[in-house]
Amino acid sequence: MTLTYPDDLQYLDSHEYLRLEGDTATLGISAFAVDQLGDIVFVELPAVGDTLETGERFGSIESVKAVEDLYAPLTGTVVAVNQAVIDNPEQIAADPYGEGWLVKVQVSTPPTGLLSAADYRALVEGA
C-alpha cells in the first residue's frame, strides 16, 4: 500500500493530523499510523463540549496489535465527534483523511510547531 500525506494537512510526530478551516480544525490519524496499527477495533473519543489542551491526551485507538493514545495538536472545544468511526472503527483505515476523521474542534489557541506533509513524510519514511 502506498501511504499518502495530503499537503493541506499539518501533522504531529505522534501521527495525528489537523486540517484547519477558518477557526475549526478537523483531527484524525495519518495513513502511516493506520498502517502501523493494523486492524482498528475500538476508538475512544471526547464528547462534544469537551476542551482539548495542546499536547494532552484526548482519546485512544485500539487495534489488534496495540492501544495508542491520541494527542491534541491545539487547544479548543470539541464541536463534533465522528460517531461513524466509533460505530465502525475500520472506517478510519478505509479513509483516514476523509470519512475517517475523529473530531472537529473550535480553535481557541492556534497550533504551533506542527509538521508539513513533506517534513512528516521524511520523519516516517526515514528520508
Residue-wise pLDDT tens digits, 54-76: 999 999 999 999 999 999 999 99
- Which pLDDT does position 127 carry in this prediction? 57
pTM, whole model, 2 decimals?
Answer: 0.94
What is the CATH architecture of 10-108?
Beta Barrel (2.40)
pLDDT band at 33 (very low <50, low <70, confident <90, very high): very high
99 closest CA partner among 110, 86, 111, 115: 86
Handedness of CA 88, 92, 94, 100 (dihedral sign): positive
95, three cell numbers: 479513509
| Angle, CA of 86, 88 and 91, to the nearest 5° | 105
The 10s digit of each residue's pLDDT in 110-120 is 888 999 999 99
Q: Cα(11)–Cα(19) distance, rounded to whole angstroms?
A: 9
What are the residue ranges spanned by the domains of the chain? 10-108
3, three cell numbers: 501511504
Q: Cα(22)–Cα(20) distance, rounded to whole angstroms?
A: 6
- The answer to whether residue 41 scores a pLDDT higher than 80 is yes
pLDDT band at 78 (very low <50, low <70, confident <90, very high): very high
- Which pLDDT does position 99 carry in this prediction? 96
Q: pLDDT: is 127 or 44 the higher one?
A: 44
Residues in a beta bridge with 21:
24
- CB proximity list for 106: less than 8 A, separation 6 or greater: 23, 24, 76, 77, 79
> 32 and 58 in contact (C-beta within 8 Å)?
no
The 10s digit of each residue's pLDDT in 80-108 is 999 999 999 999 999 999 999 999 999 99
- Which pLDDT does position 72 carry in this prediction? 94
pLDDT band at 45 (very low <50, low <70, confident <90, very high): very high
